[in-house]
Chains A and B, each alone.
Chain A
């Protein structure tokens, strides 16, 4: 039988970002692949060494558009640890609120794209219409639709007033109602199940071997979510990870659907229990020493290694993003599958290439 190697991406109708895979097919079956990423490498880690540490907050926000707040938060948490800054409780709760609406909008974006990957365009539009409300909420509270820039070293730059909190509660409640209407279509429709159940299997052992993180890991039955460690205000709010055991594309969609509901709940809880007081503290001095910070992003675990030397410039900033850890699992999931399932499986890892290549 003849073999053919064809590129998948970097420009492909289902891909939101330029992921490039060289896939070898035997007839309609995938037999091998080699990832060739590198389309959007911007050298941000190097740039971060040249900028002053407070400016880097805005730089790391631009590592990824979708989870920009989480990047800024992780960086700030790292710097705060190095400089010994205690941030006020109000800022902790606001950080939870902002991270959860970021997660919500990221998951809704993914659910829409996933529906689009198997050609369910109506569902795609329904999810994105729901997401639009969240983006408006982000604009109202943070000042911009995607890049919030509301996190700063020492707390949160934009405090919420009572009116904004009311609006946010209303929008979150409305979104919950909206999702109750849309989610059953994603989870129960016959066509969706035909395209997702049993596709892209990743067992629990393989998930660990290939270093999968986030919803990938949780869909394979590993109950690991860094929010369990209780950073920001997650300890006070109470948190249990969402776990599925099937390890296929459907399970990954199910994990994300359930996480959207959880995010709404957590964001609303954070707003309800929002303590009074200042939202930021003043920062003086320069970071010295090294630290590692981990945060749960919509796509999984994010790791920052920060090394300062007592000056305004950092010595090293290393960002390990979740998609970087999830791409190797494609090597396990793709070989053996049908050509028509490749887009669905690739999308099920929620690839974010701007993150990966930095």
Chain B
């Protein structure tokens, strides 16, 4: 089973989000999922109680544009992605500087080191 998404490119994401905004849709969430070397970001919009998703894939080093220009609420979501996955985001309206959850001296991007070999080890024991 897959979540229904519309694939788009990081360059086009702001324009697509603007279209949703003009339709009176609400930005629900952005979900970052690590898939191999790439990061997949799913933006979810709510249109009259049904969920519509936009999806982009990006290499981790490459910055993606921020949606804060369209949806003001995106700053919290994007700060979280930036901090937990090490995803660079261009044009954040309010940058919490990677100190939203993490403290000084914490390991950067804790969610990103998707430690798959370890998960398999756990399975063997279980």
Contacts and interface: CB of A to CB of B under 8 A. Distances in A.
A contacts B: CB pair < 8 Å: yes
Interface of A: 34-38, 41, 43, 45-46, 49-50, 52, 81-82, 208-213, 217, 224, 226, 228-229, 288-292, 294, 301, 303, 305, 307, 311-313, 315-316, 318, 320, 324-325, 327-329, 331-332, 357
Interface stretch (B9-17, B20-28, B57-65): B20-28
Interface string B91-105: 000101001111100
B24 to A, nearest CB: 6
Contacts of B102: 38, 41
A36 B96 contact: yes
Contacts of A82: 1
B116 to A, nearest CB: 9
Size category of the B interface is: 35 or more
A36 B27 CA distance: 22
21 contacts: A36-B99, A38-B103, A43-B110, A45-B84, A50-B118, A211-B26, A211-B28, A211-B71, A211-B74, A212-B73, A224-B46, A226-B49, A289-B1, A291-B1, A303-B28, A311-B119, A312-B123, A315-B33, A316-B34, A318-B33, A320-B31
Nearest 3 A-B pairs (CB), nearest first? Answer: A211-B73, A289-B1, A328-B73
A169 B14 CA distance: 51
Nearest to A211: B73
B42 interface: yes
B29 interface: yes
Contacts, number: 113
B76 A327 contact: yes
Contacts of B28: 211, 294, 301, 303, 320, 325
A211 to B, nearest CB: 3
Nearest to A326: B73
Nearest to A307: B33
Contact of A224 (B21, B49, B110): B49
Given A303-B28, A305-B31, A292 B119 contact: no
B44 A41 contact: no
Contact of B2 (A35, A290, A327, A357): A290
A312 B101 contact: no
Given A305-B31, A312-B126, A210 B111 contact: no
Interface of B: 1-3, 21, 24-29, 31-34, 42, 44, 46, 49, 51, 53, 71-77, 84, 94, 96, 99-103, 110-111, 114, 118-119, 122-123, 126
Given A303-B29, A325-B73, A46 B111 contact: yes
A291 B3 contact: yes
B29 A320 contact: yes
A210 B96 CA distance: 17
Contacts of A329: 73
A43 B102 CA distance: 10
A226 B28 CA distance: 13
A46 B84 CA distance: 10
Given A50-B118, A315-B33, 12 more contacts: A45-B84, A45-B111, A46-B111, A49-B119, A82-B1, A217-B26, A229-B49, A290-B2, A316-B31, A318-B31, A320-B28, A327-B76
A47 to B, nearest CB: 11
Contacts of A212: 73
Contacts of B103: 38
A328 B101 contact: no
Nearest to A289: B1
B50 to A, nearest CB: 8
Given A38-B99, A305-B42, A210 B3 contact: no
Contact of B101 (A38, A208, A303, A307): A38
Contacts of A37: 100-101
Nearest to A294: B51
Given A327-B76, A329-B73, A38 B49 contact: no
A51 B29 CA distance: 24
Contacts of B100: 36-38
Contacts of B3: 290-292, 305
A19 to B, nearest CB: 13
A39 B114 CA distance: 24
A171 B58 CA distance: 54
B26 to A, nearest CB: 5
A213 B126 CA distance: 40
Nearest to B119: A313
B126 A52 contact: yes
